Amino acid sequence: MRMLDAYRLAHYGDAMRQTARTVEQGVVERIRQRGARPAENGTHPGSAAVTGADVNRMTRSQREALERQALHGAKISF
């Protein structure tokens, strides 16, 4: 057996562990970077702007105004 082949055989496991560790660190870093920046157009299937109304985000006075409109016969839709 040649010396180079013997060295590779003896240290193959160490090389694979180091490679796996490097790949894992890269994956963790990419996940961290994606979580730290805002979503950009094309990175998720939805639109960039939220256009629908959300009752949970309305103030009390806005909800009461909708209630008054509904009492007067207005049709409320979201």
Residue-wise pLDDT tens digits, 43-53: 655 665 666 67
The predicted model scores a pTM of 0.39
The token pair at 67 is 């209630």
Three-class SS of 4-60: HHHHHHHHHHHHHHHHHHHHHHHHHHHHHHHHHCCCCCCCCCCCCCCCCCCHHHCCH
Residue-wise pLDDT tens digits, 26-75: 999 988 887 776 666 656 556 656 666 777 888 899 989 989 999 999 88
